[in-house]
A and B are shown apart, each in its own frame.
Chain A
Amino acid sequence: MGLLDKLDKVAANRETLLPEGINPFDVVIEEIHSATEGTIDDHRVILAGTNNYLGLTFHPSCIEAARASLLKEGTGTTGSRMANGTFSGHSALEKELADFYGCNSAIVFSTGFVANLGAISALAGSGDVIVLDADSHASIYDACKMSGAEMIRFRHNNTVDLEKKLRRLGPKSKNSLIIVEGIYSMLGDCAPLAKIAALKKKYGAWLMVDEAHSMGVLGDHGRGLSEAVGVEKDVDFIVGTFSKSLGSIGGYCVSNHPELDLVRYISRSYIFTASPSPATISSVREALRVISSQPQLRTKLWENVEQLYRGLEQLGFELGSDPSPIVAIHVPTKENALFAWKAILDKGIYVNLIFPPAAPAGLSLLRCSISAAHTSDQIDFILKTFADLKPMMTTAI
């Protein structure tokens, strides 16, 4: 068998799944007009499949901060955090993130994916156990593999299964890191975090929460699900990303454990990759200030969520979870999802198409992501379009 033979299967699957002319995994946004509009295939469309929850990619003060930094500090750092890639802005952002969370320390990584790789693989190792939710993001699975720890998964959001697994570990539960997410990216549902935190304490385990999709979205101050359910003191490590509510790119880990700082010295994805550009860091610092000072953005986001979610619910669609900025619509088959996705795009709306194995439990999903920047008229248009196309999304092909 040759090196590239395995890709024949990928090609065959692509041929089967993607009829000619429809490739949802190769979309090019030819022009971006705002946080909620772009041009795809020469058509102006509403973007309802981004993670731009607060619409900060086009916030004037974030753009200005990035522009000023670009002019003053140049286009990139050309080095890793460990070498020449830590500028004053990187250190300042770490301090500001720690302050935002009320934690002792923070580490900035180059992406959210890399933050999970770097933090998890450094915190857990041979002889330890990682107990992760079955619907965890790919970066968490990959990080667990890199760590060398024993990997155990519990059924998605099932605290009975989690407790069974912690109990079976016996004394090893003290060396166990439970990993869950604030909001899960596929269905938009939240972890039952209060119960999970109670189990963590009961069995003496450690707890990490990935707040990638919940930072800026949940909690009175936007600190995520841990804040919203009042368990921040029980969460040992929070990881997150700059590429969603903060409107940029990068990742972080915060903690009250002083040992977090030592992660820098053993985390390969911190040491061996270039650090975020100065402009990126400056826009994130400004976005963090905006999140802290403009809670009305979060209020607007949730008004928009209610409008879309309740509208879809009234239209009779089967939705993935309770209201959340991620609204996943179940469709009967892959074919339904594919043809509906294309029809929705042709009508002027971009949403995400999710097939198994990316979607859990063999589901096919059309996933909308809502932003504080969407207008009520845009959401009305999305609802009208979904109403018009409902038969295509509900009657199995």
Chain B
Amino acid sequence: MTIPQYDTVFQQVETLLKEHAQLQAPIKDDTDLINDLGFDSLKLMEMLEEVEDIFDITYPLNNLSELHTVKDFVLQIQQIMGGE
């Protein structure tokens, strides 16, 4: 599978985050999903299902412990795409 560029993944993630976020905040690399965007576990799971569909990947729940910022998220998606 070809891994898309960081910016390409970022743009798709940005759209999703805006759709699911509970708080309004600018979407930047260091934006925190919980503290800045108000994600709780349920909302995060809903969004992950869409991420899996959009990128045609399986997101292991083990990754959640390292998921804090938008940058973490984009890099994780790239890493999964590279490994599958």
Tally of chain B residues near chain A (CB < 8 A): 11
Please report whether the interface of chain B is mostly helix, strand, loop or mixed according to DSSP: helix
Most buried by A among B57, B58, B62: B58
Chain B 34-49 per-residue mask, 1 if CB under 8 angstroms from chain A, else 0: 0000001110010001
The reply to whether B60 and A150 form a contact with Cβ atoms under 8 Å apart is yes
**Chain A residue at smallest Cβ distance from B45:** A134
| Docked CA distance A150–B60 (Å) | 6
From the candidates A168, A356, A357, A362, name the one contacting B58 in the complex (CB within 8 A): A168
Contacts A150-B60, A153-B61 known; A362 to B42 CB distance under 8 Å? Answer: yes
The reply to whether B42 and A356 form a contact with Cβ atoms under 8 Å apart is yes
Find chain A residues with CB under 8 A from B42 CB. 356-357, 361-362
From the candidates A153, A165, A357, name the one contacting B40 in the complex (CB within 8 A): A357
Contacts A168-B84, A356-B42 known; A151 to B58 CB distance under 8 Å? Answer: no
| Docked CA distance A361–B46 (Å) | 8
Q: Which range holds the interface residue count of chain A?
A: 10 to 19
From the candidates B41, B45, B49, B61, name the one contacting A151 in the complex (CB within 8 A): B61
Q: Is A152 an interface residue (CB 8 A)?
A: yes
Find chain B residues with CB under 8 A from A356 CB. 42
The reply to whether A151 and B84 form a contact with Cβ atoms under 8 Å apart is no
Find chain B residues with CB under 8 A from A165 CB. 58
Contacts A155-B49, A168-B84 known; A357 to B41 CB distance under 8 Å? Answer: yes
The reply to whether A150 and B41 form a contact with Cβ atoms under 8 Å apart is no
Find chain B residues with CB under 8 A from A150 CB. 60, 62
The reply to whether A152 and B58 form a contact with Cβ atoms under 8 Å apart is yes
Chain A 133-163 per-residue mask, 1 if CB under 8 angstroms from chain B, else 0: 0100000000010000011110100000000
- A-B pairs with beta carbons under 8 A, tally: 24
Find chain A residues with CB under 8 A from B41 CB. 357
The reply to whether A152 and B84 form a contact with Cβ atoms under 8 Å apart is no
CB distance from B83 to the nearest CB of A (A): 11
CB distance from B58 to the nearest CB of A (A): 5
CB distance from A34 to the nearest CB of B (A): 38
Find chain A residues with CB under 8 A from B60 CB. 150-152
Contacts A168-B84, A357-B40 known; A152 to B45 CB distance under 8 Å? Answer: no
Find chain B residues with CB under 8 A from A144 CB. 61
Please report which residues of chain A, range 366-383, place their CB below 8 angstroms from some CB of chain B when the two chains form the complex: none
CB distance from A358 to the nearest CB of B (A): 10
CB distance from A394 to the nearest CB of B (A): 23
Chain B 19-63 per-residue mask, 1 if CB under 8 angstroms from chain A, else 0: 000000000000000000000111001000100000001101110
Chain A 169-184 per-residue mask, 1 if CB under 8 angstroms from chain B, else 0: 1000000000000000
Find chain A residues with CB under 8 A from B58 CB. 152, 165, 168-169
**Chain B residue at smallest Cβ distance from A150:** B60
Find chain B residues with CB under 8 A from A155 CB. 49
| Docked CA distance A362–B84 (Å) | 32
Most buried by A among B40, B41, B42, B84: B42
Find chain A residues with CB under 8 A from B40 CB. 357
| Docked CA distance A165–B40 (Å) | 24
CB distance from B34 to the nearest CB of A (A): 11
**Chain A residue at smallest Cβ distance from B40:** A357
Find chain B residues with CB under 8 A from A169 CB. 58
Chain A 252-264 per-residue mask, 1 if CB under 8 angstroms from chain B, else 0: 0000000000000
CB distance from B23 to the nearest CB of A (A): 15
Chain B 49-84 per-residue mask, 1 if CB under 8 angstroms from chain A, else 0: 100000001101110000000000000000000001
Chain B residues proximal to chain A, CB less than 8 Å: 40-42, 45, 49, 57-58, 60-62, 84
Known: A151-B61, A168-B57. 18 other contacts (CB 8 A): A134-B45, A144-B61, A150-B60, A151-B62, A152-B58, A152-B60, A152-B61, A153-B45, A153-B61, A155-B49, A165-B58, A168-B58, A169-B58, A356-B42, A357-B40, A357-B41, A361-B42, A362-B42
Smallest CB-CB A-B distances: 4 pairs: A151-B61, A150-B60, A357-B42, A168-B58
Q: Pull 24 A–B residue pairs with CB atoms less than 8 Å apart, ordered by A.
A: A134-B45, A144-B61, A150-B60, A150-B62, A151-B60, A151-B61, A151-B62, A152-B58, A152-B60, A152-B61, A153-B45, A153-B61, A155-B49, A165-B58, A168-B57, A168-B58, A168-B84, A169-B58, A356-B42, A357-B40, A357-B41, A357-B42, A361-B42, A362-B42
